[in-house]
Structure formats: structure tokens, C-alpha cells
Amino acid sequence: MNSTLTREQHLELYYFMRLNRELEEQMVRLFRQNKIVGGLYPSLGQEAISVGTAYALAPGDWIAPMIRNIGALLVRGFKPRDVLTQHLARYTSPTLGKDGTSHFGDLNVRHVISPTSVLGDLIPVMAGIGMAGRYLGQKIVTMTWIGDGGASTGVFHEGLNLAAVQKAPLVLIVENNQWAYSTPAGKQSALGDLADRARAYGIKSAIVDGNDVLAVELATREAAAHARAGNGPVLIEAKTMRMRGHAQHDAAEYVPKELLETWKQRDPLDRFEKLLTGKKFWDAKIKKEIDARIAREIQADVEFAENSPFPPPESAEEGVYCEGCHTIEADWKRPKEELLPPLSSVKPEWPAALLNESHGRNGVKRSAAKTKSGKKPARERVRTKAGR
């Protein structure tokens, strides 16, 4: 994969992917010690997607991570202690101990929307944020992730259709990790490539090797440029493999061992380490220094998290309703006069050319079209014969 990234950026990508993996390995140990309060949803084998996609965006862009996107949080500036205290439900966590998983964000600085456990619902949310940014004159892009199973939910289609019609600057990452909990992708979708769903909404799509961080970063950067230019949303299908169960409590005995062995040979970190060596971007000493730095940071933040207090009982009633806890103000990047009459006034009519474009080249729905012989197309004839 040819990349325009510098040597330093290559090393930074390695740092974030390795930090992602080592942090989750530490959390697995804490889970087995019964110190993790909520669920733990590992992203082993998928680090290149979280890190590569988030790394490709501009600082002012907005993201809404899912449960396996800890790497995206790290790229956006959150520290391991934020993730650790959150899962240990400590009072020093971003949610002050009120949540035991990754339901946290930062609206003011990092532009991170807190994830929800309702799969697919973040798609219309991020489409709306993109539309709001355009209204305010901001040149932002929004991005969220969804799994192959979540891509079959109704709100996935509704949100993507909304984004397509409104040309929202949205980049949607479909992490096809082969399993929707214990259901293989082929048992919940007849499509071989989930990216094909983009064609139904007339938007651009791409398929990328989700275990190649440079390919992921480049595809996302190109998609963000497309969306930022006002060309509408982009769907990227990143093909990868979930190397562990749906959550830490899931042994994933339903996954064929030979399948795991095949994907183990394509581990994103192993592949990237070989690339860095081949390009002479590092040597054993530099790798050792980066790994040692990561070990120090995680160890310090584990100690901080374990020594942090649990939330005091009286804090349970705090933060339920907002009482001046934050102020949200529109960040205008365009004159407001553009959105007020007379500049915003348009004639209440639909030009025939626009309607023709939306209904096909000749402005006639395909179901009413006929072949050269004067007969309706075969698909229409079958539909009529069936009485539908």
C-alpha cells in the first residue's frame, strides 16, 4: 500500500494500535480478577480499523465510536486511564462512575459522541450532526461505525437513506468481522459484499482490507474528502475477523478453529511491524522504546484507576438532569443572513428537470417501462402474474 504518510506518522499508527491491544489485554486481566464492573468487548484483530479510520479525520470532525472502537478514542486524545476508570466504574472516570463500559464522549474538545448500545442508531444521529454543521457553515465530516450484524437493522437503512438524500457529510464504516454475536455474516445477509448496500441509496462505497492500517487510513481519508466537498456520504466496508467472542464472557466455541488460524496469519499488528521493518522506518531499539513507553503509560494508569475511589452514594442523584452543567452554543462559520429572507427565499416549486432526474433518465418509473417488443420487463410481468 503506497501511503503519503511520513515516517513519524507510521510510527504513530503503530503506537496507537499497540496501545489499543495492550490496554485491552490489561483489561482482560482485570476482568478475570472481577474488577471490571460492566461488559468487556475486545477488538483483538480489529485495531487497524479503529485507529486507521480515526487517524484519517481532521481534528474538528465528529466521531461516534462503538464498543470495539477504543483505538479511535485513543487517537482522539483519551488516555488509557479514561477507559480503565470507566470500566472499573470509578469516580475519576469520564462519567463519574455511572457507567461500566465505553458510553462516554466529549462534545467540547474532542468532538466525540457517546456511543449507544442500540445498534445502528448512531447513523441518523451522525447524519444529523453533519447536516447541522453544513447549516452553520462548518466544513466538517462525521463518522461512525457499525458491525455486519448491525448493518441489518432498520435504522441502518433509514439513517443511510436520510444521509444520502440530504448529502450529509457522513462516512460510515461497516466493520465486517464475520460474526453478529454467534451468527455468521452469510446467515444474516445474502450479500457477499455489504458495501453493495450503498448502491441502493446512490452513494459512493469502498471495500478495504480491515487488517491493513494504511489501506484503511487512505480509504477513509479519500472518503472524508469526498464527503467534505459536498458529494454526500460514503460507506466503507472493512473486512476483518473478530478474534475473540462477542464479549469476554463468550468463549466463541461456535467459530471454526481453522478460520481463526487463517485470520491469525493476517494479524494487523504483525503485518504492520513487518512493513515498518521493510521500509527501514525503525529498528529493534526504536520498537523497544515505543513498547516500553506503552507499558509505562498503561501501568501508571492501571494504578491510578485501581486507587481511585468509587462514586459516593450521594452522587447517584447528580447528573440525572442537566442543571446548568454545560452550555451548548452554535459555532457559526457563515453569516446568519444567508439563512434568513430574502437570501433564503426560494420559489415553492419543483422544476421538471429535478423530478425527471429523481425518477430516471426519462422521468418515468422503471416499473412502467416497456421493452422494444412492447411487453413489460420480465420482472414486472412476474410481479403482475403473482398478483402483487
Residue labelled with grid coordinates 463518522: 143
User: In angstroms, rounded to a whole number, what is the distance separating the alpha carbons of residues 163 and 328?
Assistant: 24
CB 92 within 8 A of CB 308: yes
Q: Which three cell numbers stand for residue 37?
A: 464492573
Domain layout of the chain by residue ranges: 7-317, 346-385
Pairing relationship of beta strands 142-147 and 62-64 according to DSSP bridges: parallel
Residue labelled with grid coordinates 472516570: 93
Superfamily (CATH) of domain 7-317: Thiamin diphosphate (ThDP)-binding fold, Pyr/PP domains (3.40.50.970)
Q: Which three cell numbers stand for residue 157?
A: 437503512
User: In angstroms, rounded to a whole number, what is the distance separating the alpha carbons of residues 97 and 82?
Assistant: 11
Q: Is 11 left (phi over 0), alpha (psi -120 to 50) or beta?
A: alpha
User: In angstroms, rounded to a whole number, what is the distance separating the alpha carbons of residues 379 and 359?
Assistant: 18
In tens digits, the chain (388 residues) has pLDDT values of: 567 999 999 999 999 999 999 999 999 999 999 999 888 998 999 999 999 999 999 999 999 999 899 999 999 999 999 999 999 999 999 999 998 888 999 998 999 999 888 889 999 999 999 999 999 999 999 999 999 999 999 999 999 999 999 999 999 999 999 999 999 999 989 999 999 999 999 999 999 999 999 999 999 999 999 999 999 999 999 999 999 999 988 999 999 999 999 999 999 999 999 999 999 999 999 999 999 999 999 999 999 999 999 999 999 888 766 666 667 788 999 999 999 999 988 888 887 877 776 666 544 444 444 444 455 444 333 333 333 3
